[in-house]
């Protein structure tokens, strides 16, 4: 029987790259994100990298589609980064 999947916090690190906005390391349960993204792009890339970590069976096309849909819905609901004073 398959083991029940439990919630486990994904480690998040800010890391600038000249080639990608984000990276996922499923084996380490960790993602890296570039802090220079716009809010909409950040929501999309973060969702995308989380999908790679949590659902590694998904192929790139499915992950891409999921990220775009989550970003579309969350930005239409008004989600943005909090502005730091
Ligand atoms: Zn990907």
The pTM of this model reads 0.89
Q: Does residue 15 belong to any structural domain of this protein?
A: yes
Q: Does residue 27 belong to any structural domain of this protein?
A: yes
CA–CA separation, 29 vs 75, rounded Å? 26
Residue 2 pLDDT > 80, yes or no?
no
Q: Does residue 45 belong to any structural domain of this protein?
A: yes
* Of 67, 65, 74, 26, residue with least CA distance to 45: 67
Compute the distance from residue 74 Cα to the ligand 1 centre, in Å: 19
Tens of pLDDT, residue by residue over 8-38, are 999 999 999 999 999 999 999 999 999 999 9
Q: Does residue 41 belong to any structural domain of this protein?
A: yes
Number of structural domains in the chain: 1
Q: Does residue 2 belong to any structural domain of this protein?
A: no
* Of 72, 24, 28, residue with least CA distance to 46: 24
Segments forming the whole domain that contains residue 27: 11-76
Compute the distance from residue 81 Cα to the ligand 1 centre, in Å: 22
Tens of pLDDT, residue by residue over 39-59, are 999 999 999 999 999 999 999
Compute the distance from residue 85 Cα to the ligand 1 centre, in Å: 33
Q: Which pLDDT score is estimated for 1?
A: 63
Compute the distance from residue 45 Cα to the ligand 1 centre, in Å: 9
Q: How distant is the alpha carbon of residue 71 from its chain centre? A: 10
């Amino acid at each position: 029987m398959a083991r029940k999947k439990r919630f486990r916090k994904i480690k998040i690190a800010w890391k600038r790259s000249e080639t990608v906005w984000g990276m996922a390391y499923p084996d380490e349960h960790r993602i890296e994100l570039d802090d220079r993204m716009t809010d909409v792009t950040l929501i999309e890339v973060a969702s995308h990298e989380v999908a790679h970590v949590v659902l590694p069976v998904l192929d790139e096309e499915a992950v891409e589609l999921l990220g775009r849909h989550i970003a579309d819905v969350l930005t239409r609901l008004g989600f943005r980064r909090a502005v730091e004073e």
